[in-house]
Amino acid sequence: MKGVVVYDTYFGNAKVVAEAIAEQLEREGYEVDLRSIRERHPVPPRDDIMFLGSPVRMGSVTGRVKRYVKKLSEDAWRDKPIVVCSRPL
């Protein structure tokens, strides 16, 4: 199975959490793609599960994360789990 961990971060905390999630998925036998939302990725994710991490800014996930979610292929992700991880600073 394949998993993708996508994160946005300001101070590096979400990256630390994303790396820990990716490591755990690998231990459980997943092939993992770790992606920063701030980097360009030519191929959109088409994996079996997605973890999406973001700091909370002004009571919500970052604008980058909102735009990323809007661009996800509805057909590719309709029946697949997406786990959103965020917490207030």
Residue 28 lies in a domain: yes
Residue 49 lies in a domain: no
The percentage of the chain sitting over the pLDDT mark of 70, rounded to a whole number, equals 97
**For 48-58, what is each residue's pLDDT tens digit?**
999 999 998 78
pTM for the predicted model, two decimal places: 0.89
Does the pLDDT of residue 22 top 60, yes or no? yes
Query: What burial class does residue 81 get, using C-beta atoms within 10 Å of its C-beta: 0-12 exposed, 13-18 middle, 19+ buried?
Result: exposed
Residue 52 lies in a domain: no
Residue 54 lies in a domain: no
**For 29-79, what is each residue's pLDDT tens digit?**
999 999 999 998 888 888 999 999 999 878 889 999 999 999 998 899 999
User: Contact 34/81 with Cβ under 8 angstroms?
Assistant: no
**Number of domains into which the chain is organized:** 1
Question: Mean pLDDT, the chain, as a whole number?
Answer: 90
Full domain range(s) for residue 34:
10-43+68-81
Residue 75 lies in a domain: yes
